[in-house]
Amino acid sequence: MTLHEALEPRAQDPALGGIIKLACMAVGGQGGGVLSGWIEDLGRAGGYAVQATSVAGVAQRTGATVYYVEMAPPSPQRPVFSLMPAAGDVDIMIAAEMMEAGRAIIRGFVTPDRTTLIASTHRALAVSEKMAPGDGIANAQEVMAAAEIAARRLIAADFDQIAVRSGSVISASLFGALAASGTLPFAPDAFEAAIRSGGKGIEGSLRAFRAGYEAAMGAAQDLPAPLRTAAKEVSGPAKLLAGWRTLEARAGGLPEPAQQMACAGLKKVVQFQDIAYGGLYLDRLDQIAAIDRTPFTLSLEAAKYVANAMAYDDIIRVAGAKTKAGRRARIAAEMGAKDGHVMQVTEFLHPRAEEIVSMLPARMGARWAVMPRRMALLDRLFNKGRRMRSDGLMAFAAMYLLAGLKFWRPRTLRHAQEGAHMAGWLGRAIELALTDYDLAVEVLRCRRLVKGYSDTHARGLSKFDKVMAGIALVVGRADAADWARRLREAVLKDEEGKALDGAMATIRSFVI
């Protein structure tokens, strides 16, 4: 076809370079509207032609949302702005949460040729991340690594924390970071003026704005790391301390790679019961160490999971945790309770017949547990949601007394049950270690599946049993350890056990 003379190819209008395209990806409720409002006011006050758009509506409630602003220098004519960000054509991307930064990158809104990415590194976990029975939290490092490649310039900090510490919300600290980025042709004073003209919560917003500005400039100190209680020296009555030192010395004899974990485990079991119980813990580790070899993974995993299994969650332990020194101060700090306030703490407890029986002497408890009428009676007496005011004397005293029942614990049904479970599980691992070391390690790790209270605990136990049954099917295969790992990971994916059933079906398909 023929080309018309009038239609010569031409480079882009240089004035187009003057349009600043800014997008903000946020989670509904983060104040993205306020932020884009400030940016708009800022641009207008600076004489710029500005256009902002958003997609409000129900789709916004706690969901991912996007705001978009374009502005151009003053001119007699009105520029034509776009109403939505386009992939590869965004100058400034403000991501008010780390995964939203990831979403912006996925959508192509962050490109190395032009985009300054201002990202808050904090996480607001999505429901899918939170509801997995295991660890479903998305990998923020991956997003950070991608951001470093995708963005022309990356300004990342925990702007949420910065805002909260200033008594404000993230929109203000991000606005500060925007000012610091120098991507908009306006002085910081103009930014502050935009906040002032906004009207609400000005002081807090300005504080957060400045903190965000400083953080983005890198002038501010890095966020102080969360207060790590320095490993304090163990202290206490001389006799106990001597016992502890003996245990510590014994732990020093364990294979080196397992020592640190064993130390942590030792503390946990001694706190749970007493020095003698710590001795039992070390006995069990010794048993494992005797058959272990380099790289001593078996010992390491045993140090971890034997401690967790031995420090099971019974009524005594829970009562102990609820009446422990320092708890009240920790809660007060968390709740922001000051001297002039009074703080009331209500505990939500719901014991069932099972929990009562588990505290009875082992033989008696076992008898009762299979007597439906006895159990029904216990349920009538005890099975009820109890709200206990642990700042009150009666409730505190009750829990305090329960916490003092450690001496009774070794005789309880629960203790006997846990012991039996331990023997079966640990025995299985030791037995397998001789033939398939890796599988033995996986068996130890399966103890992770037993957690929670009441029904959740029972379900955990039954899934543990299912996985052990699955492992029994693959014993002897070269890839047995791999299958054991897959089974365990399947359990941690969903509550109903759909993934586990799927994995089990696969196993059955090739072993039968």
Partner 1 sequence: MAERSFKAEIEHLKLGAGDTFTGEGILAITKALLESGVGYVGGYQGAPISHLMDVLADAEELLAGLGVRFEANANEAAAAAMLAASVHYPIRGAVTFKGTVGVNVASDALANLSSSGVTGGALIIVGEDYGEGSSIMQERTHPFAMKSQFWLLDPRPNLPSIVKAVSDGFELSEASNTPVMLMVRIRSCHVTGSFECRDNQRPKETVREALSNPRSDFARVVLPPMSYAHEQDKVKNRWPAAEKFIRERQLNEVFGPKDASLGIVVQGGMYNGLIRALQRLGLADIYGATQVPIYVLNVTYPLISSEFLGFCATKDHVLIVEEGQPEFIETQLASFLYRAESTVKLHGKGLFPQSGEYTGAVMLQGVEGFIRKAAPGMLAATVRAPNEDKPQIPDLTKTVPIRPPGFCTGCPERPIFAAMKLVEKELGKHQIAADIGCHLFASLPPFEIGGATMGYGLGPAANGAFDGGGERRPISIIGDGGFWHSGLSSSFTNMSFNKSDGVAIVVDNFYSAATGGQDVMSSRAENATKSTRNPISKALKGIGINWVREVNHTYDVGHMRDVLREALTTKTPGPKVIVASSECMLNKQRREKPLVQKAIKEGRRVDIPRFGVDEDICTGDHACIRLSGCPSLSLKRLDDPLRDDPVAAIDQSCVGCGNCGEVADAAILCPSFYRADVVHNPGPIERFWARTRARIINWLIARRAARQLDFGSAP
Which residues between 26 and 65 bind partner 1 (CB under 8 A)?
27-29, 40, 44, 50-65
Which residues 267-326 are close enough to bind partner 1 by CB under 8 A?
267-268, 270-271, 304, 307-308, 313, 318, 321-326
d(CA 47, CA 71): 10
233 binds partner 1 (CB under 8 A): yes
Q: Does 458 bind partner 1 (CB under 8 A)?
A: no
CB of 391 to partner 1, least distance (A): 6
Selected binder of partner 1 within 45, 190, 220, 241 (CB under 8 A): 241
The piece of 364-372, 394-402, 417-425, 476-484 that touches partner 1 (CB under 8 A) is 394-402
Q: Which of 448, 477, 485, 493 is close enough to bind partner 1 by CB under 8 A?
A: 448
Residue 404's H or E segment, with its range, is none
Distance, CA of 22 to CA of 92 (rounded, Å): 5
Should residue 249 be labelled a site residue for partner 1 when binding is judged by CB under 8 A? no
Give first-to-last CA distance, the chain, whole Å.
69
How far apart are CB 103 and partner 1 at their closest, in Å?
Answer: 5
Instruction: Say if CB 52 and CB 192 are below 8 A apart.
Output: no
Report in angstroms how near the CB of residue 480 gets to partner 1 at its nearest.
22
Q: Label the pairing between strands 116-120 and 64-72.
A: unpaired
**Minimum distance from residue 194 beta carbon to partner 1 (Å):** 14
Q: Is 125 in the site for partner 1 (CB under 8 A)?
A: yes
Using CB under 8 A as the binding rule, the residues of this chain from 325 to 344 that contact partner 1 are 325-328, 331-332, 334-337, 340-344
Binding residue for partner 1, selected from 411, 453, 477, 499, defined by CB under 8 A: 453
Residues 287 and 493: their CA atoms lie apart, in Å, by 33
What's the angle, vertex CA 139, arms to CA 124 and CA 335, rounded to 5?
A: 35
Sheet architecture: strand order including 64-72 = 49-54, 64-72, 20-27, 92-95, 116-120, 153-157
Asked if residue 4 binds partner 1 (CB under 8 A), the reply is yes
Q: Which stretch binds partner 1 (CB under 8 A): 144-152, 187-195, 213-221, 428-436?
A: 144-152
Of 145 and 423, nearer to partner 1 (C-beta) is 145
Binding to partner 1 in span 487-506, by CB under 8 A: 492, 495
Query: Rounded to the nearest whole angstrom, what is the least distance from the CB of residue 219 to partner 1 in the complex?
Result: 27
- The DSSP line for 125-175 is --HHHHSSSS-----HHHHHHHHHHH-SEEEEE-HHHHHHHTTS-HHHHHH
Among 164, 202, 416, 475, binds partner 1 (CB under 8 A): 164
Residue type, 241: L
User: What is the DSSP-derived secondary structure letter of residue 412?
Assistant: B
Answer for which of 182, 404, 424, 502 binds partner 1 (CB under 8 A) is 404
Q: What is the DSSP letter of 61?
A: T
Cross-strand partners of 92 = 22, 116
